[in-house]
Amino acid sequence: MLQDSQDQPRYRFPSPQTQPSPLPADRLRRLRVVPLGGLGEVGMNMMVFDTGNSMFAVDCGQMLPDDDLLGIDMVIPDISYVVENRHRFEAVILTHGHEDHIGALPYLLREVDVPVYGTRLTCELVRERLREHDLNRSVDLRPVTPGETITVGEALIEFIHVTHSIMESVALAIRLPFGTIIHTGDYKIDPTPIDGRPFDYHAFARYGEEGVLALFADSTNVEREGFTRSESAVIEPIARVFESAPRAIVFSCFASSLHRIQVVIDLARRFGRRLALAGLNMVRNVRIASDLGVLRLPAGLLVDLREARKLPREQLVVLTTGSQGEPLSALSRMALGEHPDYDLRPNDTVILSARMIPGNEKSIYRMMNHLSRRGARVVYERVAPVHASGHAQREEMRLMISLCRPKYLIPIHGEFRHLMEHRALGAAMGIDPENIFVLQDGDVLEIDADGAARGEPVPVSRILVDGRAVGDVDEVVLRDRKHLSEDGMVLVLLAIDHATAEVVAGPDIVSRGFLYMDEHQEFFEDCRQVVIRALDECERESKEEWAVVKTAVRRALKKFIKNETGRFPVILPVVLEI
């Protein structure tokens, strides 16, 4: 694996061309849109806009691994297309500060040196992310404000304020010589946002009046009819839980849900409670947002979690991460009684103020059961309306289409079923179905003055991040991890005399994740005898070749274990020559 000067892992990407090849004249006024992530999945959002002379990316996010990606920390987009064309790549434009939109930036910015544009809050969250990779001093972060316009290559880009679950979220109006493209980012149309900054209807309507060529629109909540609940709508339901809580309150939400965090801050003050923070991301985000003035944090409200143990329990709110049941999160550790700084007690109230992400249900319910066993009252979305989504539902999507009146609609941000449902909604709104493009990662949409059409796809894959290894975890490794997780491993240890080819120690059998040895001593003695017979059947010359001995032992033991148990553990013979 390639290393940079600071011994940081890098991608295995092809070297860029030393001399950019000349571009055909007919490409100079044509836009190629290349999604590298976020279409066909939820997360890993990244889309490249290529005008021929220049390129820029909108967002660069990560995705949490599926259950079958054992040991993988995160999944990020394949940025080969960007690296191959780095001589034309000019900027990254960020819509907001969620990890599924900024999490992969460090891996991209090791390969390309370009400015990154985003709102103040987004830039500061990115700066913290880059600090973890020792990149915070070398990257050019350029804060922008809604209503501001920048120029990237041939594109004039205006930032439009939208409401979402994190402050300072923006949509993009990308003005090109042949028309305007709107990219919504993540949004909902919240009439009563917590920070008092309303969704910018007027900007979308203005572009709709001028004419929008294509609308790239969030599809996440397309299966839900009506309007998304306002963030303000959760205040009183949460307040009622605060009012009835007899002892401490543990409030869990995403560390990036800053509107919800502001609600908790205000309610803690309203009910005379002190506020403590748990979880590294929660502490970091609250610090950044309060330093920027995005969060209003009254003086004296915050108390260190260790000091909070000295307070009467009825005077405490603990704001924590872990709403998805992540095994190492602060809330999961509290549920198991393993958190070093907070001891959950009977009659404490735990509020889970987040939607269950599909695939996380089992871990969340398991954590909730542990919380309940410790005597805590658990309040979540199915019990009380303590959560509101940050994504537009169908009525808001209809309103977005009505405001922009696009010629072409491209659903983005969602699994394939979401994209197809958004396509049907657009067709029902009067958009010609031939003008609605359902793309997946690697598909190419070409847009020019004559219209839009599919282009030649770009080969893409998913890049797996495992610790410091980036892109080096292949299918064989994952298959072995899956095999080990399902059937365990059997080690066979033996020592062979180099001169006589006789076994002088062992064979010893060690089981890990297969059968408990103390309860199956007779079975493992039989395994030992199988190994001894396999060795006896080997010729003396064969015993001098370790590979031959290992193969014979593995084959014999595999057959025996399969016949006796019907299972297929990984069998690893270890031969020492003395």
| Strand 489-496 relative to strand 155-162, pairing | unpaired
307 shares its domain with 362: yes
Q: What is the pLDDT of residue 362?
A: 84
Domain boundary among the residues 361, 379, 397 is at: 379
Residue at 12 is within a domain: no
- The C-alpha atoms of residue 119 and residue 213 are separated, in whole angstroms, by 26
Q: What is the pLDDT of residue 554?
A: 78
Tell me what the pLDDT averaged over the chain comes to: 85
220 shares its domain with 236: no
Structural domains in the chain (count): 3
> pLDDT tens for residues 425-438?
999 999 999 999 99
Residue 419 belongs to domain with CATH number: 3.60.15.10
Query: Which is nearest to 219 in space by CA: 258, 184, 256, 265?
Result: 184
Burial (CB < 10 A; 0-12, 13-18, 19+), residue 341, is: middle
308 shares its domain with 159: no
Sign of torsion over alpha carbons 538, 543, 547, 549 = positive
- The C-alpha atoms of residue 45 and residue 366 are separated, in whole angstroms, by 30
Examine the pLDDT at 480 and tell me if it is beyond 60: no
426 shares its domain with 322: no
294 shares its domain with 214: no
Angle, alpha carbons 308-311-314 (nearest 5°): 110
Q: What is the pLDDT of residue 430?
A: 94
Q: What is the pLDDT of residue 164?
A: 96
Range scoring the smallest mean pLDDT among 65-74, 143-152, 347-356, 460-469: 65-74
Domain boundary among the residues 354, 379, 404 is at: 379
Residue 327 belongs to domain with CATH number: 3.40.50.10710
Yes or no: say if 248 and 313 are a contact pair by the CB < 8 Å rule: yes
Query: Which is nearest to 390 in space by CA: 58, 35, 97?
Result: 97
Domain boundary among the residues 470, 505, 525 is at: 470
Yes or no: say if 53 and 23 are a contact pair by the CB < 8 Å rule: yes
Q: What is the pLDDT of residue 313?
A: 92
- The C-alpha atoms of residue 367 and residue 389 are separated, in whole angstroms, by 22
Residue at 384 is within a domain: no
Q: What is the pLDDT of residue 14?
A: 35
397 shares its domain with 458: yes
Residue at 150 is within a domain: yes
Residue at 455 is within a domain: yes
Task: Give the alpha-carbon dihedral of 306, 312, 315, 318, to 10 degrees.
Answer: 30
358 shares its domain with 505: no
- Which residues form the domain of 363? 231-379
Residue at 453 is within a domain: yes
> pLDDT tens for residues 391-419?
999 999 999 999 999 999 999 999 999 99
> Coil, helix or strand for 122?
helix
Average pLDDT of the segment spanning 234-254: 96
Residue at 475 is within a domain: no
Instruction: Report how far apart, in Å, the C-alpha atoms of 135 and of each of 93, 104, 464 are.
Output: 18, 13, 20
52 shares its domain with 195: yes
335 shares its domain with 291: yes
Yes or no: say if 35 and 105 are a contact pair by the CB < 8 Å rule: no
Residue 153 identity (one-letter amino acid): G
- The C-alpha atoms of residue 142 and residue 412 are separated, in whole angstroms, by 26
The pTM for the full model equals 0.78
63 shares its domain with 201: yes
Phi, psi (deg, nearest 5) at residue 269: -65, -45
Yes or no: say if 187 and 162 are a contact pair by the CB < 8 Å rule: yes
Q: What is the pLDDT of residue 529?
A: 81
Yes or no: say if 200 and 75 are a contact pair by the CB < 8 Å rule: no
- The C-alpha atoms of residue 48 and residue 39 are separated, in whole angstroms, by 13
> pLDDT tens for residues 509-545?
877 777 666 677 778 788 888 887 787 777 655 555 6
Examine the pLDDT at 475 and tell me if it is beyond 60: no
> Coil, helix or strand for 55?
strand
Average pLDDT of the segment spanning 297-319: 93
> pLDDT tens for residues 37-73?
999 888 889 999 999 899 999 999 987 765 554 445 6
Q: Which residue has the higher pLDDT, 450 or 524?
A: 450
How would you list the strands of the sheet with 46-50, edge to edge? 141-144, 116-119, 89-93, 55-58, 46-50, 31-37, 445-448, 451-454
The DSSP result for 350-399, as a single string, is EEE-S---TT-HHHHHHHHHHHHHTT-EEE-TTTS-----SS--HHHHHH
459 shares its domain with 498: no
Chain-centroid distance of CA 481 in Å reads: 21
- The C-alpha atoms of residue 469 and residue 481 are separated, in whole angstroms, by 16
Residue 535 belongs to domain with CATH number: 3.10.20.580
Residue at 13 is within a domain: no
Q: What is the pLDDT of residue 69?
A: 47
> pLDDT tens for residues 266-292?
999 999 999 999 999 999 999 999 999
Average pLDDT of the segment spanning 183-197: 94
Q: What is the pLDDT of residue 67?
A: 53
427 shares its domain with 553: no
Q: What is the pLDDT of residue 541?
A: 56
Residue at 111 is within a domain: yes
> Coil, helix or strand for 233?
helix
Average pLDDT of the segment spanning 167-195: 95
% of the chain surpassing 70 pLDDT = 85
Burial (CB < 10 A; 0-12, 13-18, 19+), residue 25, is: exposed
Average pLDDT of the segment spanning 358-378: 89
